[in-house]
Every structure is written in C-alpha cells, then in structure tokens.
Amino acid sequence: MTDTTAATGTTDWQAWQDSWDRQQEWYMPDREERFRVMLDMVEALVGPTPRVLDLACGTGSITDRVLKRFPDATSTGVDLDPALLAIAAGTFAGDERVTLVTADLKDPAWYAALPHESYDAVLTATALHWLPSAGLEVLYGQLAPLVAPGGVFMNADHMPDPQTPRINAAERAHRHAGMDRAKAAGALDWREWWELAAADPVLAGPTARRFEIYGEHADGDTPSAAWHAATLRAAGFAEARTVWRSPSDGLVLAVK
C-alpha cells in the first residue's frame, strides 16, 4: 500500500473507521442494506474474486465490506481527501490486497495513476454528488473503458425524483425528524465529526489540507436515477438501471 501520501501515525484507525460509519448512518440508516445489494450484484455478475476500483473511496468503507465478503478480491481505492485516505491507510496497513491512490477525479488524466488498466467492478457510494452533472457525465465517459467486458459500475447516492415534489418533501420531513431524534440521542453529524478529526493530533494536518482542497460544501448536484442510467448507457455501457432504492437514495448498476 505504497501509492498514498497519507500519514499512518499512531492512533486507533478502527475507531475512526467505525466513527465514520456511524456518522454516515445518521444520514442513511439503510446504508448497510445498500452495500449488501451492491455486493450481491458484484457476485452475481462478476463472481467472488473481483478486481475492484473503489472510486472516491474515502475511509475505504466499500473496500472493507468487499474484502470481508470476498477474501480473495483485490481493491484499488482512489480519492483526493488526505484525512479520509489517512484513515484508509491506517485501516488497511499491511494488507497486500489493497492499494490506495491519491488522485483528483476532476483531473482529465486522473486514471493514469491507477495500477491496473481495467477492473471487474467500479464501485462508489455517497461521493459523486460532489460533481456537477456535466462533470459527472465526463467521468462516466472515462469510467466505461476502465470496466472490463462483462464488468460492472455501481453508484449509490442521493437520487431524488424531480417529478414527485410532494412525495420528496414528505419523505425529507420524515427522514429529518428521525435524524433529529438520533441527534438528540448523541449521533454526530458531518460537521461535528470533522471537528473531532481536526482536534486529533494525527488527523489535524490532513484535515486542514482537506478543507483547503474542498472547502465546506460540495459544488455538485443530485440528478435522478433515470438520468444516471441514461448517461451511463450513452457513455458506452450496454445496460443500466436502478437495482435498489430507498425513498431518497438509489443504487444504479451499469454492465459493460
């Protein structure tokens, strides 16, 4: 795991990994179900020994679940966030199945840093909403050649349907009421989690660099699942459709 510049100092990396998962689950209580379906589809379409590209990998949540379910798999995690990559590097230190790569998906040549020319499965979750639709369309065009014939790409993210505004509003109000109850019970939100990271002696530096890179908020948007499927087909995938969804999130699968 030599392709990342993230520091791996002395800290409890598993605790940070678990803390990240809990923070993400505050926003997405059905996050694990979404991962389960993602891995079901990997197994169904490419088998139990995939070469995986964990796109915008963050702390390596997908990689962690891939390797627990498929011990003979390998995973390349790519991200630009130095703090989340530090956690990933600490979590997977010494695991020869994992390679971490620092790259900016907005860089037209980001894929040149990857160790392989093709992957059986390219997987991403709760990440690509940081890109505007025009940038995501470009990225999908770059991903199609990276997926081996018969391989898969899956994107799990917030994918509201613009044709159902009343349903969307009711779902959002109900979801946020549940989040408020969890918050009152002690759940960390995104901002509070990053405040803890900034106060950690090992993560303070990478966290400061992270906010220099990204700022406070995403500049992207959240197109519908139908948009994702249509754009993936236009990019060169043979089939694409939603394979799982909650009232607010979707998992779109494309097959090469």
The domains found in the chain, sorted by start residue, are 13-255 (3.40.50.150)
Work out the pLDDT band at 3, boundaries 50, 70, 90: very low
Closest C-alpha to 183, from 29, 26, 30: 26
pLDDT at res. 72: 98
**CB environment 31-43: b (16+ within 10 A), e (fewer):** beebbebbbebbe
pLDDT digits (tens, 9 = 90+) for 164-207: 999 999 999 999 999 999 999 999 999 999 999 999 999 999 99
- Mean pLDDT, rounded, of the chain: 94
Distance of CA 239 to the CA centre of its chain: 21
Rounded average pLDDT over 219-245: 95
Q: Whole-model pTM?
A: 0.94
Instruction: Provide the token pair at 132.
Output: 């505007």
Q: Running DSSP on this structure, what letter comes out for residue 112?
A: G
DSSP 146: G
Q: Average pLDDT of 216-236?
A: 91
Rounded Cα distance between 234 and 220, Å, is 21
The per-residue pLDDT for 7 is 43
Q: What is the mean pLDDT of residues 116-124?
A: 98
pLDDT digits (tens, 9 = 90+) for 69-86: 999 999 999 999 999 999
